């Protein structure tokens, strides 16, 4: 059996080659992103392994199915980028990696919080330039501040790290978690959470209900000077509205690991080309914004777990006993 990996990077190849091999499965790695134009590369591969910015729309899935693909193995937890109805219609099975390291993502969210608060990005550049001044670097104590967690699944729950700093936890999720409540978190309706939190961190999946959950109206409910962290999915926030809120000073800090239009940008070195995305270009001008290019998952432990679970998913599917199926 042959598996083709789209959007694969060196670290993917290393982690998949290091994971326990499945007998009879050949792994073929492709740097190209999966799109309508590249789908034909998968001809003759029963398994296509895709990442978050690969295109898994109906026309792409039709091409894959026509080329003999029968399993889409997502090497991600999120599955908002696949047309599940089309997959079902075409008889394609879809599997994913529901949990690889919630700690990796939650710890990255905390890294953004700490860097933004203590302005590490600015301090780093200053000292390298021989500027040892402190003006503009004043932060705040995290101790005693209120953190609002939106989506308290595996990653949101790992945001318990903030309780260790002495923060109060507020939460919003249609399915409250007893473990989160045991940490002292109070579940509130979204408008109340937004109004009370000093820091808001997004950890819910991207669905029709959560699309642009943070928009002009919800930003207006947040306290002036508060911090927003998004390590979930780009389209959870209306990005132009963020820019307006930063410009007016209403939003005090912004940390993004995901961006609505990231598919055409992230995971590649584009430093020698003019940035074509004006919204992103504007965001990058604010001193109180840090943007990372979807790297929250990128720890050794998470990569090893993604590889291991994906290969297990393929092996289980191959023997007719699938696990981690995603159904529409
Ligand atoms: P999870 O399924 O364990 O938890 C998601 C939680 O969100 C659940 O508790 C669910 O009830 C809640 N939820 C659903 N709809 C909601 C709504 N309308 N409002 C508030 N909460 C809602 O998922 P997880 O493993 O914690 O991952 C969360 C998301 O993080 C993923 O869907 C993915 O988009 C994102 N993610 C990002 C990265 C990264 O590298 N930046 C890596 C992994 C996952």
158 in contact with ligand 1, CB cutoff 6 A = no
- Spell out the per-residue pLDDT of the chain, length 328, in tens: 999 999 999 999 999 999 988 889 999 999 999 999 999 999 999 999 999 999 999 999 999 999 999 999 999 998 999 999 999 999 999 999 998 899 999 999 999 999 999 999 999 999 999 999 999 999 999 999 999 999 999 999 987 899 999 999 999 999 999 999 999 999 999 999 999 999 999 999 999 999 999 999 999 999 999 999 999 999 999 999 999 999 999 999 999 999 999 988 999 899 999 999 999 999 999 999 999 999 999 999 999 999 999 999 999 999 999 999 998 7
Task: Evaluate the CA torsion angle 327, 66, 44, 15 in order and state its sign.
Answer: negative
For residue 54, what pLDDT is reported? 96
230 in contact with ligand 1, CB cutoff 6 A = no
For residue 30, what pLDDT is reported? 95
Which of 12, 76, 77 is the pocket-test mutation for ligand 1 (most atoms within 8 Å of CB)?
77
Structure-token pair, residue 91: 């008889």
297 in contact with ligand 1, CB cutoff 6 A = yes
93 Cα–ligand 1 center, Å: 22
Specify the DSSP element, H or E, that contains 319.
none
174 in contact with ligand 1, CB cutoff 6 A = yes
77 Cα–ligand 1 center, Å: 9
Which of 148, 173, 178 is the pocket-test mutation for ligand 1 (most atoms within 8 Å of CB)?
173
- Specify the pTM: 0.94
Q: Using CA positions, which residue lies closest to atom 5 of ligand 1?
A: 153
For residue 22, what pLDDT is reported? 84
152 Cα–ligand 1 center, Å: 7
For residue 74, what pLDDT is reported? 98
Report, at the CATH architecture level, how domain 2-100+300-318 is classified: 3-Layer(aba) Sandwich (3.40)
Determine the atom of ligand 1 nearest the C-alpha atom of 258: 41
79 in contact with ligand 1, CB cutoff 6 A = no
Which of 79, 148, 204, 306 is the pocket-test mutation for ligand 1 (most atoms within 8 Å of CB)?
204
Query: Is the fold of 2-100+300-318 the same as that of 102-291?
Result: yes
296 in contact with ligand 1, CB cutoff 6 A = yes
CA–CA separation, 52 vs 47, rounded Å?
16
**Which residues are catalytic, by number?**
233, 262, 294
* Cβ burial, residue 220 (10 Å; 0-12/13-18/19+): exposed
Report residue 163 CA to chain centroid gap. 22
For residue 312, what pLDDT is reported? 96
For residue 328, what pLDDT is reported? 76
Report, at the CATH architecture level, how domain 102-291 is classified: 3-Layer(aba) Sandwich (3.40)
For residue 34, what pLDDT is reported? 97
What are the residue ranges of helices labelled H in the chain?
10-18, 58-66, 84-89, 102-118, 120-128, 154-158, 161-164, 178-182, 190-196, 216-221, 239-247, 278-283, 300-318
The residues that bridge with 228 in the sheet, in sequence order, are: 200, 254
For residue 230, what pLDDT is reported? 98
Nearest to 95, CA basis, from 315, 320, 313: 313
105 in contact with ligand 1, CB cutoff 6 A = yes
Rg (CA), the chain: 21
Cβ neighbors of 325 (< 8 A, separation 6 or more) are: 93, 94, 95
For residue 264, what pLDDT is reported? 87
For residue 275, what pLDDT is reported? 95
Specify the DSSP element, H or E, that contains 298.
none
| All structural domains of the chain with their residue ranges | 2-100+300-318, 102-291
């Amino acid at each position: 059996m042959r598996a083709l990996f789209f959007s694969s990077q060196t670290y993917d190849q290393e982690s998949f080659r290091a994971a326990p091999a499945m007998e009879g499965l050949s792994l073929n790695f492709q740097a190209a992103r999966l799109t309508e134009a590249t789908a034909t590369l998968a001809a003759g591969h029963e398994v296509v392994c895709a990442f978050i910015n690969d295109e898994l729309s109906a026309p792409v899935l039709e091409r894959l199915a026509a080329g003999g693909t029968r399993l889409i193995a997502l090497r991600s937890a999120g599955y908002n980028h696949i047309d599940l109805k089309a997959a079902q219609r075409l008889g394609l099975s879809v599997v994913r990696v529901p949990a690889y390291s919630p700690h990796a993502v939650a710890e990255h969210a905390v890294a953004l919080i700490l860097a933004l608060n203590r302005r590490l990005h600015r301090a780093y550049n200053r000292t390298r330039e021989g500027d040892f001044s402190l003006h503009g670097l004043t932060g705040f104590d995290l101790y005693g501040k209120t953190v609002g967690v939106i989506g308290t699944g595996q990653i949101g729950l790992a945001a318990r790290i903030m309780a260790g700093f002495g923060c109060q936890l507020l939460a919003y999720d249609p399915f409250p978690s007893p473990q989160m409540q045991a940490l002292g978190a109070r579940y509130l309706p979204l408008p109340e959470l937004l109004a009370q939190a000093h820091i808001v961190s997004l950890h819910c999946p991207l669905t029709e209900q959560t699309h642009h959950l943070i928009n002009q109206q919800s930003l207006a409910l947040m306290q002036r000077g508060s911090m927003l962290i998004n390590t979930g999915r780009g389209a959870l926030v209306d990005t132009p509205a963020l820019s307006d809120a930063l410009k007016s000073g209403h939003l005090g800090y912004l940390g993004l690991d995901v961006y609505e239009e990231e598919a055409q940008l992230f995971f590649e070195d584009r430093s020698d080309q003019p940035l074509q995305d004006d919204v992103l270009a504007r965001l990058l001008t604010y001193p109180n914004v840090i943007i990372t290019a979807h790297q929250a998952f990128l720890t050794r432990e998470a990569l090893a777990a993604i590889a291991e679970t994906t290969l297990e998913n393929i092996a289980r599917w191959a023997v007719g006993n699938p696990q981690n199926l995603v159904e529409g």
